[in-house]
Structures are given as C-alpha cells and as structure tokens.
Chain A
Amino acid sequence: MTTRERCMNILHYKDTDRIPAVHFGYWRELLDEWARQGHITPEMAKAAVRDNSPEQRELDKIIGWDCNWYNTVGTNNGLSPRFKREVLETFPDGTQRVLTSNGVIERIKPGVVSIPSEDDYLLKDREAFETLFKPKMQYSPERVNTEALKKFNETRATDIPIGIHVGSVMGHIRDITTVMGMSYLIYDEDEELFSEIVDTYAEMQYKCVEAALATGAQFDFGHYWEDICYKSGPLLSPEIFDELCRKHYKKRNDLLHKHGIDIISLDCDGVTEKLIPTWLETGVNVLFPIEIGTWGDQFEPARKKYGKEILGVGGMDKTAFRKDKQAVDVEIERIKRLFDLGGFIPCPDHRLMPGSKFELVQYYAEEIKNIRI
C-alpha cells in the first residue's frame, strides 16, 4: 500500500495495513537547531522548511515520515499584485515598522520570529477598498498556471496524497484587515463594506479553483487555510462567521464535489468547535491540525457530536517532542485510541517547534508505523 492509499482509505473508513506517519512541517528555527546539532546540513535546514520541497522529502526519509499532509497545489489566490514591502521606520534596537505585502504595518524585531505583530493596516474604509484593494482582488487567468496543471496527472508523485489548495474565506481577510480592523469594520464602522470585501475576495478565489479544476488535474483532497480561532474559540462570533462565509464554502465545496473530491480539509489553529457546524454543513469534513498541545482543541468531542461524517488529521501533542521518550509513548497510546475511532490520521498538531528533539521525532515516526492494527 502507498501512503496515498493508506491516507485516503483511512479517511473513507476503508482498511489499511498500518498507520501512516504523517507530519505538518517544521519551524525554520527548529531546522537551524538540528543543523547546529549536526543532524542535518545547513543547506537542508534552509530548503526543507518549504512544505514538500525535495529537501523536505529527503528529510522525511531520514526521519522516517511517510508524508507531510500540507501537500497542496495552489493558485495565486491572494492580493495581486501584492503591496511592495517597505521599511517605514527603524528604531535604535533594530525593531522595524514594515508595510507588508498584505497592506498591514507590522513590527519586526531582529531575532523575534513566529506570529506577526500588527501595528496598523491600510484597509480601513471604502475609499481604501475601492482604490487600493479591490483592484488586487480581481480574477485574471494569470492567477492559475494552467499549463503546469494540464500536465499534473502525469507528473505528480503517485505515492503520497496531494490536495488542491482552495484558499481561505475569512483567514486571508483577517490577514489583510488585522483582528482589530476586522472587529471595527464588522461591529462599528461598516459591516456592509466588510461583507463586500469577503464576497469580492471569495469570488476571485472560486474562479481560481474553477480554472484549476477545468484543466483536468485530479486531486486527492481539497484544502483550506483559515486560522480564525484562538485559545478560547473563534476570533469573531460564529453567527457572523456563518452569515458571511457559509455561501462561499458551499459554492466552493460543491465545485470540488462535482470534480469528485469528497475529502475537504481545513487548517485552522485554535479551538475550532464553534465553527465546525458551518464547515461540516457546507462540505468541509477534515479538521486539521487539531491543536491539542497549545490550545486544548480536541477531536473526540467533535466525533461524538457529529458522528462519522467528521474526519481528522492532526491531534498529536507536538510538545511531547520537547520532553522525553515517555512523553512520546503517552502520546502514541492516546492517539492510537483516536485512530481506532476511524476516519482519523494522527499528525503532530502543528509545525514542529524549536526544542523538538531529533531522536524523539524519529522514534515517533517509526513507532507509529509499527503499531499493529
């Protein structure tokens, strides 16, 4: 059996010979750390951060992973052209205020990485939308590499699952408006404008997916990126989320279904529980990465509530890799029980972070493959 067959069988409740060792990539700082420790070369550390690059697949082999779930083919479905990155101000300690490609002003300090720290944003009102952003949210054929997609079925790796990245209904908008801007527009300043922003962006993304699928390229699954939840739940009310997003998920997922894609996963960090109804009722059926370690998100309650319709990839507490073999063993026992529920592929619950021990990651990847079903 190939990893592709294993994964697809599990998500369709069919038999498999073993659990696939699936991961979700690495933070750059971890790869640098592993290079300093002599586990990998600095060159590999630099290149293997990119999901499913040849170097990452090489690293997968060294560690023992079968594949990275985040293996998707996408289109240019963001702002186009993007804003030109510009340093607006530099402070004595090296901290910079930078205009990003999304039209957001971020504070960046040397040596501080991870989640951006947002200072300000350009998309504040209708004038900014009409003049700066709307032209960048339009569909054009150049957004889709149709020539490459026409050859996709012949050139793709056949041993691992590959998805089509169908974009984001709310996450990209949050990236452009920031959490503050999104909140002010929706609740106080111009709800109608916010709704129009969501609709404009979603329509462009739909057309990108439509054009990609029209090439005949066949994918194993569809995949969204959202990241619209945090420690205590969604970053906006579930009712408003549903009102703004439901129709777009439905339209996009119906298109995927029409092309035979019935596995649709969605990457959302944080505690996702309150948004699951909107996703599940419109066709999104795979929760990913189910961040139990950082945020306490869980798969079992969703399975109990929604039954076998809901599937999962993730749910393994990656923080165990920073501890010891015993902690990893505890995790393996726990996720084995989740695997037994069916329709669930264990995977570290986000990108592996600095401090993860190389030998423990190797140990996990091997152990998970050795579990008898």
Chain B
Amino acid sequence: MSILVEICENLQKGKAKIVKELVTQAVEQGINPEQILNEGLLAGMNIVGEKFKNNEIYVPEVLVAARAMNMGVQIIKPLLAAEGVKATGKVCIGTVQGDLHDIGKNLVKMMMEGKGLEVVDLGTDVSPETFVQTAIEQNCQVICCSALLTTTMSVMEEVVKKAEEAGIRDKVKIMIGGAPVSEEYCKKIGADVYTVDAASAADAAVEFCK
C-alpha cells in the first residue's frame, strides 16, 4: 500500500498521531507536499465529508478525522508555502455575537480547509461589523455565520444588512448554518445559502470561490 493511501485511510479512521507520522515519512521520502495534501489528506477528508453528508458517519468521526488532517497539514504547511501553492479561495467564519458555541463552526472550518480553502477563523461571539470588516480587509469571497441558539440567530440578519451598507453585498456570499437555522430563515434574511451539514457547507463555499 502506498504511503498516500495509508495517510488517506488513517485520516478517515481519525488516527491523528499515525497520520502525523506518515506525513512526516512521506516528506522524508521526497514526495511532493502538494501531492501529500491532495492524494493523502484531502482525499481522505473528501471521503469523510461524503459519508457525513450521507449519514453514514457521525459528528465524532468527522471531528477526529479533521483533527488528524490538521496535524498532517501542520507538517507540510511551510513546504506548501515555500512552493507557492495557493488556496482555492478565502472564507471568514465565526459564531455570531452573543453565542459562544463553536463545535459546528469548527467542523465547517475544518471541512473547508479540507477542500483547500483558506479560512479566517473569527472565533465566537463575533459582531456583524467584524464579519464585514474582515471580509473587506482580507478579501474574503465568503462570510460564514454559525449559531446554536434561537436567541442569537437573528444576528445573521444584521450581518447581511451590514454587508449591504458597506457596499460589498455583490462581492461576498453569505452562508449561514447551525441547529436552529433553516432554508426558510436563510431566504427570509436574504443570505445566500443555508446548508444542513458541515460537508455541504464546504462544497457550497468551494462553488462560491470558483
């Protein structure tokens, strides 16, 4: 079995330490870091994403796979930068103001990174102004808002309004997600897309960044 296949398979099982060791070995063997990323790490994460979308696996499997991917990426990140490998797009993501929950947000972030996007993580309790300002300053193509609470999801509407006021609404797509959020709510507040899970969110962001 090739080492890239091993990376891919261990990533799917969430074996973080093994993935880290295998990526290190692959680098030592002289395998191109971009190849390690695409054929090992991202290939594994894509399979995880598909299985998650199809309800074949659940949140824990995604969390551990994403952690394994991050550990692998940390090894090759400096090498990728040195080779001038660029991200396929840029997204800023955060949990909206008043809400401190971040498991869902982190899952989406990791899935997006797994698709080769650069993600600016604004953390939790993020104001509408910060979302918009970051998108402007960092040239993000997508703003991604997460909320767990019914009491905080209304902040998403504020993000849409602030983006309009700042004159960037036609340049930036706004994605929303989280437990209480729905397609109906997305339409109501004028956001661009709602996705039911983290993998679908990553797919949608990739489309927006093309």
Give 6 CB contacts A-B under 8 Å.
A179-B60, A179-B63, A184-B64, A184-B67, A188-B14, A188-B64
Structural contact, A109 and B60, CB atoms closer than 8 A? no
Q: Give per-residue flags for B52-91: 1 if the beta carbon is below 8 A from chain A beta carbons, else 0.
A: 0001011111011001100000000000000000000000
Q: Which residues of chain B have C-beta atoms less than 8 A from A237's C-beta?
A: 57-58, 60-61
In the assembled complex, A14 has its CB within 8 A of some CB on chain B? no
Q: Residues on B close to A: CB < 8 A? A: 13-17, 55, 57-61, 63-64, 67-68, 98-103, 124-125, 148-151, 179-180, 196-197
Known: A114-B149, A231-B179. A236 touches B60 (CB 8 A): yes
Q: Which residues of chain B have C-beta atoms less than 8 A from A109's C-beta?
A: 98, 100, 125
Known: A112-B98, A294-B179, A353-B150. A117 touches B64 (CB 8 A): no
CB of A51 to closest CB in B, whole Å: 21
From A107, A231, A353, A354, residue with most partner B Cβ within 10 Å? A231
In the assembled complex, A183 has its CB within 8 A of some CB on chain B? yes
Q: Which residues of chain A have C-beta atoms less than 8 A from B98's C-beta?
A: 109, 111-112
Q: Which residues of chain A have C-beta atoms less than 8 A from B15's C-beta?
A: 188
Q: Which residues of chain B have C-beta atoms less than 8 A from A186's C-beta?
A: 60
Of the candidates A107, A115, A179, the one whose C-beta lies within 8 Å of that of B149 is A115
Of the candidates A111, A179, A234, the one whose C-beta lies within 8 Å of that of B103 is A179
Q: Known pairs A117-B102, A236-B58, A294-B179. 4 more at Cβ < 8 A? A: A117-B124, A231-B179, A237-B61, A294-B180
Count of chain A residues near B, Cβ 8 A:
29
Q: Which residues of chain A have C-beta atoms less than 8 A from B64's C-beta?
A: 183-184, 187-188
Q: Which residues of chain A have C-beta atoms less than 8 A from B13's C-beta?
A: 187
Ranked 5 nearest A-B pairs via Cβ: A183-B60, A117-B100, A187-B64, A187-B14, A183-B63
Q: Which residues of chain A have C-beta atoms less than 8 A from B197's C-beta?
A: 232
A250 to B96 alpha-carbon distance, docked (Å): 42
In A184-239, the 8 Å CB interface with B consists of 184, 186-188, 230-237
From B14, B59, B149, residue with most partner A Cβ within 10 Å? B59
In the assembled complex, A140 has its CB within 8 A of some CB on chain B? no
Q: Which residues of chain A have C-beta atoms less than 8 A from B60's C-beta?
A: 179, 182-183, 186-187, 235-237
In the assembled complex, A295 has its CB within 8 A of some CB on chain B? yes
A186 to B63 alpha-carbon distance, docked (Å): 11
In the assembled complex, A41 has its CB within 8 A of some CB on chain B? no
Q: Give per-residue flags for A152-185: 1 if the beta carbon is below 8 A from chain B beta carbons, else 0.
A: 0000000000000000000000000001101110
